[in-house]
Structure 1
C-alpha cells in the first residue's frame, strides 16, 4: 500500500522533529529535559580525553582541524624559508637573524613572530627571550634545529583525538 501525500508529509515531519529533538539533547543552551549534556556541564569529568574539546565531527571540530592544518603549513613554510635564507652549520642546524627574517616576511605574512613561537613550541626552532620585537631584537639569532623533510614533523595535537 503506497503512502498518501498526507502520510508522507506526516512521516517527514515526525522524522524531522525526532532528529531535531536528538540534536537539542547535545545543545548546552537548550532547556530540553533529560539532555545528556547537562550532566557533563554540572559535573564535568576533568580527566576525560574529550574535556574542553568540540564534539567530534561537528563544524567547530572541522574548522579547528582546518585551522591547525593551515597553521602547521605556515610553520613548515617558515622553516623552509629559514633554510633558504639562513646559514647552514656543520651540525645540520640553520641560523638566521630575526631582523633578516622579519624584513623578508613583511611581504609574506604579518605573523612571523607568532609562527616562530609556534615553531619553538614544537621544538623546531629556538631563540632567546619570550617575545621578539622589530628593531630591538633584530640581532637575535634564530636557530632551526633540522631542515624539515616531511610535513608530518609537526603534530596538531590540540585537535587530535581518538574516534
Structure 2
C-alpha cells in the first residue's frame, strides 16, 4: 500500500464532499466520508488512511480514532491541498 497515494485520494475526496468552513478550510463530517459509496470503493481502511494523513499533517480531527456511528459528526479539516 502506497500511503502517499492513499492520502492524495483522501484529499481529493474531502475536497469533493466537503465545504469551506469559517476559516476558509475545507471540512467534511466523518459520517459523510464514511457513508459515501465512492469512498467505500476507494479505501479498504478509511480509518487507517485518516490516521496516516493526520500524522503527516494533511488533515486534523478531534481524537485519535474515529468510529462509525459514534463519531459521525466529527469534522475532518483539510490542512493541505
Classify the TM-score, shorter chain.
0.7 to 0.9
User: Cα RMSD between the aligned structures?
Assistant: 1.4
| Distance in 2 separating the partners of 1:90 and 1:135 | 25
Measure the CA separation in 2 of the matches of 1:82 and 1:139: 15
Paired residues of 1:82 and 1:95 also in contact (CA < 8 A): yes
Cα shift at 1:137: 0.6
Structure with bigger gyration radius: 1
The 2-side partners of 1:80 and 1:106 are apart by 14
Give the structure 2 partner of residue 140 of structure 1. Answer: 74
List runs of 5+ in structure 2 lacking aligned partners: none
- What's the TM-score once normalised by structure 2's chain length? 0.87
How does 1:1-163 map onto structure 2 within 5 Å? 67=1, 70-89=2-21, 91-104=23-36, 105-147=39-81
Question: What number of residue pairs does the alignment pair up?
Answer: 79
Q: Secondary structure at the match of 1:107?
A: helix
Offset at residue 88 of structure 1 (A): 1.7
Q: Which runs of 5+ in 1 are unaligned?
A: 1-66, 148-163
Matched position secondary structure for 1:135: coil
Counterpart-to-counterpart distance in 2, 1:135 and 1:127: 16
- Once the two structures are TM-superposed, the CA of residue 90 in structure 1 deviates from its matched residue by 5.5
Higher share in strand: 2
